[in-house]
Amino acid sequence: MADALVYLLRTAGPQLHAMLTRLTLRRDRSEELMQELFLKLHRSAAFRKARDPRAYAFRAAIHLALDARRREKALAELPESLAAAEVRPLEAVIHGEQAQRVLAAVAELSPLAREAAVLHFVEQQSYAEAAGMMGRTEHQVRGLCQDALRQLRGALAPSAKEIFHE
């Protein structure tokens, strides 16, 4: 088991950490969640039995980060990439607030819709890649993403038009 976790950390650790950082908008919190994730995986019988341990870890990380966001409800600092960019301060604040609202709304989606939305829209995986990680068909993931967008637009209206352009 320990060897499987070390291998997972070596091969998928940077991607897991990057995803946790994108979902929390806080590097310090993402590091804490990485530790929490690997502790949970170490204790998880389901992880040991998983057909695809890497996919299981990504799905677990998505839920861990978004559940933490829901619990904390605190404002997160701006992502370093945004803060470092040459953006006017007002634009940076607006972008940060939009990201906060979107991530809070994503955290309220059903578990399957949130997995599909994060894998496809945040992690930029194709529908086929996300389907492989979720153990679903490409068609099912496409439907979950469409449902997620519909729910997000409803939750974020009136600002949804400026955030989600199709």
Question: DSSP letters of 62-100?
Answer: HHHHHHHHHHH-PPPPPPHHHHHS---HHHHHHHHHHHH
Q: pLDDT, tens digit, for every residue of 88-114?
A: 555 555 566 778 888 888 989 999 999
Q: pLDDT, tens digit, for every residue of 41-52?
A: 999 999 999 999
Lowest mean pLDDT among 3-17, 53-67, 87-101: 87-101
Question: Is cis: bond before 158, omega within 30 of 0?
Answer: yes
The enclosing domain of 112 has a CATH number of 1.20.140
Rounded to whole angstroms, how far apart are CA atoms 73 and 13?
Answer: 26
Q: How many Cβ atoms from other residues are within 10 Å of residue 60's Cβ?
A: 20
What's the number of domains the chain is made of? 1
What residue type is 98 in one-letter code? Q
First to last CA, the chain: 44
Q: Residue 45 sits in which domain range?
A: 2-163
Q: pLDDT, tens digit, for every residue of 138-165?
A: 999 999 999 999 999 888 886 545 555 5
Positive or negative, the Cα torsion across 57, 62, 67, 72?
Answer: positive
Please check the confidence at residue 82 and state whether its pLDDT lies above 50.
no
At 72 the pLDDT is 75
User: What pTM does this model have?
Assistant: 0.70
